[in-house]
A and B are shown apart, each in its own frame.
Chain A
């Protein structure tokens, strides 16, 4: 039995084992294994890919090569709330960098990362077409505009509260 140290549950590990058992002898099974494994863990971190390589008897570089070839596979976890800060020109001149920095400070993660509790992941994007509201960020499908660092705090507070409630 594997442990991946990615905060996985025993159920997830059991499901992973099932996937491996189901496909082990199937020729060309790497793709479905990666797909179903991602379905279990949400992404395909190093430890998981190592386990897949070991179980299927192929090299890690092959597994990784396949996982990075197809755009569907993710190597990093995404949070329950996916924050995307617009770094388009209009937002940038209005201080999007300060917004981004405050979010990084508050969540303790860098752009492109995910918080340990998987509540938030942070990305930046090109123009979202809301220049009039600059600077803007999106959290999942919701657009937040005319931001400043204080406003960012308030919005994050709301989500953090919501996240705890939902978890409870």
Chain B
């Protein structure tokens, strides 16, 4: 591979991919230069695949064939972001956005829209993209996309991730070429430092400084590692990049290899991400085939290769030293630092480790310059951040916003608000290491430092929205159950401390807690923070500390009044039959699995609280809304 060939490939497919990036009219003009009248992009990310996008593609191809249409290109892409609306399908050049497409709808779409001279089937389009007069609104103008800024996700949902030439047409490997031909390693570091890029995996360490440490080591063998072991429940940013634009990662790792003086990279990726692994594998093979990995890359003599290592289900392996221990073939237990991995990491060699999203920011910085990048974001946090938006929110999905966007913007504008008219209660960020941000902080600009100040952390970017029906003690317990399961068990504070915290929380949710327990919880939490070996233990108590801080009354209600204000903790629920509403139909009595309800026909029934197991079946089955839980 040479630079000329790379540019040749880019030129060859440039118009084809640009059709997908331009506004409708310009795209239509450009489409005339290509072999395809229309292009149909169907999301093949994990979300849409589980909602059936493969069947949609099959139906599409069949239907096109039946209609004898040959000038429509079907592309399976990565994630568009709007996972709750899957399967998603976009038709270019006009940019019609079909949501929740079923195979049954496909023939109509083909015969009405994809035939020459066709027009969109408005009833299947995403409602927010259709004006009342029937004309369509560009996707980029919809509330979900308007405030987003896609840097890391630049090619997700745009290219076929299994086709390296489409990636190249979208500038993949241009940054690598620039680095290899015009920049010295120190130049790359300087550029990253000037850009202000901080690690997207958790604590936000400046990427340039990390690389500089490793570069300064005098060692023939160094490693470049990528953390794609995204273990936070409810986070899938890295997966989406791998599924939608794997070359962004490969290129950035090669740049890192050149910068620190490494020939070998490892991507540690969750085995639970089969689609991502497969696409990454294909992308690595293609990069090798095209001479963009391997020996003498772009004729510069630079050599770099990447291997994939699969995780096997251990959250702690997201911690950098545990990840390296795992790649070495051991139990994924963290090691004390120092020595830091940049000095002594994988197999004892200088190693850098960044997560997928961090790498995905590298090429744009190199190509567009640090000035451009540092103009985005806040004072100390530059660029954008990808969030996996989930929980009680209308638009569940993947969003990328400039640093400094507020929770309110994300929840109310991009996320489309909390469903069913419920009230926003808190946003959980940072997963099991993070905390809950209550409504009073909704207008704080999100960046690394602000999140820590308000008791949470950036983490890898999971953002779970909680509404008034969420019990904050219960949610803490959920996260503690997770950390107890996932603690490696090496150090004392985490191994025993997490278990004790969970025990206390369980007691509280069962109405057996005491106010003294809260003091013990605080004491233990602080102990784990100061004395645990790794970040997992040091941050494990964050979900409790942050909720105790903002929702202390809720804890007290469980303890003093033996009540769960959100009506979640089943042991504290009391089911009662309103004698005025009860018609004595006996349905509740018959449905009760434990015989806790007594009463005779046409007379009000009564629940025996001693026998009741709080399963809620009586309430579900009552036709007269006579049963309530308190």
Interface, chain B (partner A; CB < 8 A): 271, 309-314, 326-332, 347, 488, 591, 593-594, 613, 615, 617, 620-621
Contact = CB atoms under 8 A, between A and B. Distances in A.
B313 A72 contact: yes
A130 B221 CA distance: 57
B314 A30 contact: no
Q: Is the interface of A mostly helix, strand, loop or mixed?
A: helix
Given A69-B314, A131-B617, 20 more contacts: A28-B309, A29-B329, A31-B326, A31-B327, A34-B312, A35-B310, A69-B331, A69-B332, A70-B311, A70-B332, A72-B312, A72-B313, A89-B613, A89-B615, A91-B593, A131-B613, A132-B617, A132-B620, A132-B621, A134-B593
A93 interface: yes
Interface of A: 27-32, 34-35, 62, 65-66, 69-73, 89-91, 93-94, 131-132, 134
Given A34-B312, A69-B314, A132-B617, A28 B329 contact: yes
Contacts of B309: 28, 31-32
B9 to A, nearest CB: 33
The 7 closest A-B CB pairs, nearest first, are A70-B312, A30-B329, A71-B313, A28-B329, A90-B593, A72-B313, A72-B312
Contacts of A89: 594, 613, 615
Contacts of A65: 331
A29 to B, nearest CB: 6
**Residue among A72, A93, A94 having the largest count of chain B Cβ atoms under 10 Å:** A72
A132 B619 CA distance: 12
Contacts of A71: 312-314
Nearest to B616: A131
Contact of A31 (B312, B594, B615): B312
Contacts of B615: 89-90, 131-132
B144 to A, nearest CB: 32
A66 B313 contact: no
**Residue among A65, A94, A131 having the largest count of chain B Cβ atoms under 10 Å:** A131
A69 B332 CA distance: 8
B324 to A, nearest CB: 9
A71 B326 CA distance: 13
Contacts of A91: 593
Contacts of B330: 30, 62, 66
Contact of A66 (B329, B617, B620): B329
A32 B309 CA distance: 7
A70 B314 contact: yes
A93 B593 contact: yes
A72 B332 CA distance: 13
Contacts of B617: 131-132
Nearest to B485: A71
A82 B347 CA distance: 40
Contacts of A34: 312
B566 to A, nearest CB: 19
B347 A27 contact: yes
Given A35-B312, A70-B313, A131 B593 contact: yes
